[in-house]
Amino acid sequence: MRKPLVIVTRKLPDVVETRMRELFDTRLNADDQPMSQAALVEAMKQAEVLVPTISDRLDSRTLVQAGPNLKLIANFGTGVDHIDVETARQRGIIVTNTPGVLTEDTADMTMALLLAVPRRIVNGVEVLQKGEFKGWSPTWMLGNRIGGKRLGIIGMGRIGQAVARRAKAFGLQIHYHNRKPVPKAVEADLEATYWESLDQMLARMDIVSVNCPHTPATYHLLSARRLKLMKPSAYVVNTSRGEVIDENALTRMLGAGELAGAGLDVFEHEPAVNPKLLKLKNVVLLPHMGSATVESRIDMGEKVIVNIKTYADGHRPPDRVIPAML
């Protein structure tokens, strides 16, 4: 097998980097600092294969500066909203991702937030750490039960269905909005109710979980108007992409008591977070940890390696991203 020049933009797990060095002519990012846009362009002028992550912005202005040798962008991650896939296609550059390997871990984190916010788990931790716990009281630190509540899932793909399976086991009633209904067998297994109208679903849910990708069509899908359709007692959980929610509108409503709470693992302008959001007591905020397990990161790396190796062997990479799929 020939060894293409592969440039990796961020530090990956040691086992993944070692295998990549064995198989390819690989240049690694030892200090794990995000590449500047200039450094990214320079890498694209040299590499035959680029392995970027979500922290790299590969828009059309960047991609048109790629060298003639760049033939594959093997993304380390499932989401490709940071890559202009159509421009890549026009320039004859294949884009691949790592689907499937993040599903269970992200669904676990979604469920963790879904429990943490209504049950005020982080509030309880803070009380203990500050030495303010004075003993049990019948009316102190009351949260809300999730069993029997209606969960509305936005995006019923792999992760949405994994969330639904977990939520069903906790006694939640499963509802969902998707571009189209899932197969009847899946719907029956999850005892899920499909809503063609997102507006109608939002008005009736107790908890809303965002599990759809960020695309031009889903930017601010939960706009200020749609957030106002939700009940003041409702909660929002987002482990997908921050851009799907109007973060400023969400912050205002949480502060005004127009929503009960939110659990967010992603933010609209990552890594920046709205300072007002950070001050709220009815939120649980995490630093994009949804897929942050050792197993997940290694599985992602193995997917990247398979895509590169298949390309280098002259075959079609298995996880090719087609613009029409987005």
> What 3-state DSSP class applies to 283?
strand
pLDDT score of 167: 98
First vs last C-alpha separation in the chain: 32
Same domain, 55 and 193: no
Tell me if residue 89 is catalytic.
Answer: no
133 in the same domain as 274: yes
Q: Are residues 231 and 84 part of one domain?
A: no
Examine the domain organization and report whether 244 and 299 are in the same domain.
no
Report the number of distinct structural domains present in the chain: 2
Residues 125 and 267 in one domain: yes
Are 259 and 134 contained in the same domain?
yes
Domain match, 34 and 119 both: no
User: What is the residue type of 190?
Assistant: L
Query: Do residues 313 and 23 make contact, with C-beta atoms less than 8 angstroms apart?
Result: no
Q: State the catalytic residue, choosing from 220, 270, 302, 320.
A: 270
Chain segment 227-248, per-residue pLDDT in tens: 999 999 999 999 999 999 999 9
- Is 175 an annotated catalytic residue? no
Residues 235 and 132 in one domain: yes
Domain with 25 in it: what CATH number? 3.40.50.720
Same structural domain, 174 and 37: no
- Residue from 19, 158, 214, 241 carrying the catalytic annotation: 241
Distance of alpha carbon 199 from alpha carbon 202, whole angstroms: 5
Distance separating alpha carbons of residues 207 and 263, to the nearest angstrom: 10
Residue 235 belongs to domain spanning: 103-285
**Rounded to the nearest 5°, which phi and psi values hold at 150?**
-95, 125
pLDDT of residue 1: 67
The pLDDT score that the predictor gives to residue 32 is 86
Distance between CA 167 and CA 190 in Å, rounded?
A: 9
Based on the domain organization, do 170 and 183 belong to the same domain? yes
3-state secondary structure of 7: strand
Find the catalytic residue in 214, 226, 288, 297. 288
Active-site residue 269, yes or no? no
Residue 78 sits at φ, ψ, to 5 deg, of: -85, -50
In this structure, are 84 and 123 located in the same domain?
no
**What is the predicted pLDDT for the residue at 322?**
86
Low-confidence ranges of the chain (pLDDT < 70): 1, 324-326
45 plus 121 within the same structural domain? no
